[in-house]
């Protein structure tokens, strides 16, 4: 049965809009409002409380700022899932292997890394010169031999990385922060796909940048959308993930890569290319950095292929921005820890890095084949060796409700909400990160549970209007 939520504001002496936001917080905490509930329309609540529509609008905006609700264009304002400290709804604690099946976190497959690290550390322990070098201060770009080794390895993947124009950073997200800091100042504008890696959203917010969402289709960001944004705003940078977008998984084809670079060149926009999900050259068009090295800041790392805990990334910047990236890195952490890069380089030198990457590729390919089988007949998107599956939900499912239903069956996954830039429309779809569980059998069981929830359909119940 439909009900109307009308809060009691009589005990609040402050501004009415703040009272509304605090009432939402109390109602969520008390269970009066559940995740996915729709709040009353601005007009309905204003009439019920005897306040102006503008007051309710400010109250809902304050509740959204606190992470309690999200507004959807043309649909209404809905209660959000509880948020962690990042404001993005992500917790980095994976589920225990005997507990929930965790499709929420896009981690590399946990296989074979511990022995490889033990071997590298034993090898390093007997190298006094390398140990001494790792304990000293060095220029912000990192040790030249580390940059050379990392660049050589990345060239093996088909990326034209130049060690002389590269800096070692603390993973790709750190590199993204440094790149944004180098090309844009607080209050200036950057752009990306409307559904994008939450780290980009957090980085732009943390640096005080205006973040524009761009329309995308099955081939990535649409050039006309970038062109329109550049004509209407002084866009300083556009962030692109051409090999597989997170969460929607689409890859940008060759012709569109050239079109987007042409728009950026016309308007003097920096292109930040995130290639942390390394893809072999035979399986993708040439990278943006190889097409326009003077326009592209290229970011990658070992987190998704080897291990996130190493925190080793590489930023290649053209001469016009190299010093600015270096200054940003120096001001942030002086330098990335040489010990981390040393461990990664020893994995590379020993062949362990290539072996781990090969094993992960094979395992991810097998898991994607499982997903294709379980989701046969459904609308979904994925890359053959990608971590994620983007599942479009059939009517009448809503994503929040579907995520709750899956959680009740012991499966964690993500709606599009944490990936949405500002008020960009969020589709009724969910992301499944099939890389995170340790065992393939757990992946198969999780996919089967998700399919059963889909076929069962949503439960019946009242909504809060």
Q: Which residues contact 45 (CB under 8 A, 6 or more apart)?
A: 6, 20, 39, 56
Q: Report angle CA 128, 132, 135 to the nearest 5 degrees.
A: 140
Pick one of 3.30.530.20, 2.60.120.380, 3.40.50.300, 3.90.1150.10 as the CATH number of 101-107+354-456: 3.90.1150.10
> Where exactly does CATH 3.40.640.10 map onto the chain?
116-350
Average pLDDT over residues 131-155: 95
Three-state SS letters, the chain: CCECCCCCCCCCCCCHHHHHHHHHHHHHHHCCCCCCCECCCHHHHHHHHCCCHHHHHHHHHHHHHCCCEEEECCCEEEECCCCCCCCCCCCCCCCCCCCCEECCCCCCCCCCHHHHHHHHHHHHHCCHHHHHHHCCCCCCCCCHHHHHHHHHHHHHCCCCCCHHHEEEECCHHHHHHHHHHHHCCCCCEEEEECECCHHHHHHHHHCCCEEEEECEECCEECHHHHHHHHHHCCEEEEEECCCCCCCCCCCCCHHHHHHHHHHHHHHCCEEEEECCCCCCHHHCCCCHHHHCCCCEEEEEECCCCCCHHHCCEEEECCHHHHHHHHHHHHHHHCCCCHHHHHHHHHHHHHCHHHHHHHHHHHHHHHHHHHHHHHCCCCCEEECCCCCEEEEECCCCCCHHHHHHHHHHCCEECEECHHHECCCCCCCCEEEEECCCCCCHHHHHHHHHHHHHHHHHCCCCCCCEC
Six token digits for residue 315: 């930023």
Q: Which residues contact 11 (CB under 8 A, 6 or more apart)?
A: none
Calculate the dihedral angle through the C-alpha atoms of 178, 184, 186, 187, rounding to the nearest 10 degrees. -150
Q: Cβ atoms within 10 A of the Cβ of 294, count?
A: 10
> Where exactly does CATH 1.10.10.10 map onto the chain?
16-79
Confidence of residue 461 (pLDDT cuts 50, 70, 90): very low
Among the listed residues 277, 206, 204, 274, the one whose alpha carbon sits nearest the alpha carbon of residue 236: 204
- Reported as a single tens digit per residue, the pLDDT across 13-64 is 778 898 998 899 888 877 788 777 889 999 999 999 999 999 999 999 888 8
Largest pairwise CA distance in the chain: 76
Which pLDDT does position 316 carry in this prediction?
97
Nearest-angstrom CA–CA distance, 209 and 180: 9
> Where exactly does CATH 3.90.1150.10 map onto the chain?
101-107+354-456
Would you say 181 and 299 are in contact if contact means Cβ atoms under 8 Å apart? no
**Helix orientation angle between 352-374 and 113-125, rounded to the nearest 10 degrees:** 170
Which pLDDT does position 92 carry in this prediction?
52
Nearest-angstrom CA–CA distance, 234 and 323: 22
Taken in order 392, 394, 397, 401, is the CA torsion positive or negative?
A: negative
Question: Average pLDDT over the chain, rounded to whole?
Answer: 90
Six token digits for residue 159: 């990326």
Rg value, the chain, Cα: 24
**Top-confidence residue, 379 or 80:** 379
Average pLDDT over residues 60-76: 81
Nearest-angstrom CA–CA distance, 191 and 423: 14
Which pLDDT does position 82 carry in this prediction?
61
Q: Which CATH architecture group holds 116-350?
A: 3-Layer(aba) Sandwich (3.40)
**Helix orientation angle between 352-374 and 440-456, rounded to the nearest 10 degrees:** 20
Nearest-angstrom CA–CA distance, 288 and 253: 11
Among the listed residues 233, 188, 195, the one whose alpha carbon sits nearest the alpha carbon of residue 209: 188
Q: Cβ atoms within 10 A of the Cβ of 442, count?
A: 18
Nearest-angstrom CA–CA distance, 240 and 197: 10
- Reported as a single tens digit per residue, the pLDDT across 310-363 is 899 999 999 999 999 999 999 999 999 999 999 999 999 999 999 999 999 999
Instruction: Compute φ and ψ for 200, nearest 5 degrees.
Output: -65, -40
Q: Which fold has domain 16-79?
A: Arc Repressor Mutant, subunit A (1.10.10)
Average pLDDT over residues 389-396: 96
Kindly tell me if the per-residue pLDDT of 149 is higher than 50: yes
Nearest-angstrom CA–CA distance, 432 and 180: 28
Would you say 209 and 186 are in contact if contact means Cβ atoms under 8 Å apart? yes
- Reported as a single tens digit per residue, the pLDDT across 412-456 is 999 999 999 998 999 999 999 999 998 999 999 999 999 999 999
Confidence of residue 78 (pLDDT cuts 50, 70, 90): confident
Would you say 312 and 168 are in contact if contact means Cβ atoms under 8 Å apart? yes
Instruction: Name the β-bridge partners of 216.
Output: 221
């Amino acid at each position: 049965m439909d009900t109307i939520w009308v809060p009691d504001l009589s005990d609040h002496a402050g501004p009415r809009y703040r009272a509304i936001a605090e009432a939402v917080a109390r109602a969520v905490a008390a269970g009066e409002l559940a995740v996915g509930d729709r709040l009353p329309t601005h007009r309905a609540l204003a009439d019920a409380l005897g306040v102006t529509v503008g007051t309710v609008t400010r109250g809902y905006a304050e509740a959204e700022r606190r992470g309690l609700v999200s507004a959807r264009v043309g649909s209404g304002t809905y209660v959000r899932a509880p948020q962690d400290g990042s404001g993005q709804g992500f917790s980095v604690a994976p589920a225990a292997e005997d507990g929930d099946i965790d499709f929420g976190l896009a981690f590399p497959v946990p296989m074979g890394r511990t022995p490889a690290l033990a071997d590298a550390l034993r090898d390093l322990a007997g190298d006094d010169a390398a140990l001494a070098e790792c304990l000293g201060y060095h220029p912000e770009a990192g040790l030249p031999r580390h940059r050379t080794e990392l660049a050589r390895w990345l060239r093996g993947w088909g990326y034209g990385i130049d060690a002389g124009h590269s800096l070692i950073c603390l993973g790709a997200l750190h590199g993204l922060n440094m790149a944004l800091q180098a090309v844009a100042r607080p209050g200036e504008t950057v752009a990306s796909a409307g559904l994008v890696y939450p780290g980009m959203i957090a980085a732009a917010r943390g640096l005080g940048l205006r973040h524009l969402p761009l329309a995308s289709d099955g081939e990535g960001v649409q050039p006309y959308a970038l062109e329109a944004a550049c004509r209407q705003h002084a866009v300083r940078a556009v962030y692109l993930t051409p090999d597989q977008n997170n969460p929607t998984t689409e890859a940008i084809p060759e012709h569109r890569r050239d079109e987007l670079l042409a728009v950026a060149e016309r308007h003097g926009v920096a292109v930040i290319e995130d290639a942390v999900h390394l893809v072999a050259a035979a399986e993708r068009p040439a990278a943006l950095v190889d097409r326009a090295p003077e326009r592209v800041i290229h970011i990658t790392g070992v987190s998704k292929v080897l291990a996130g805990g190493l925190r080793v990334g590489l930023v290649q910047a053209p001469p016009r921005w190299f010093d600015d990236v270096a200054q940003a890195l120096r001001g942030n952490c002086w330098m990335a820890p040489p010990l981390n890069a040393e461990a990664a380089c020893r994995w590379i030198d020993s062949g362990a890095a290539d072996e781990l990457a090969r094993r992960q590729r094979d395992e991810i390919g097998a898991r994607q084949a499982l997903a294709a089988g379980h989701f046969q007949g459904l609308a979904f998107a994925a890359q053959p060796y990608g971590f994620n599956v983007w599942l479009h939900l059939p009517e009448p499912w809503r994503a929040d409700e579907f995520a709750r239903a899956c959680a009740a069956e012991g499966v964690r996954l993500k709606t599009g909400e944490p990936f949405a830039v500002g008020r960009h429309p969020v589709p009724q779809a969910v992301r499944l990160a099939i890389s995170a569980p340790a065992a393939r059998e757990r992946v198969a069981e999780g996919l089967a549970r998700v399919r059963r929830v889909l076929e069962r359909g949503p439960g019946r119940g009242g909504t809060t209007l």
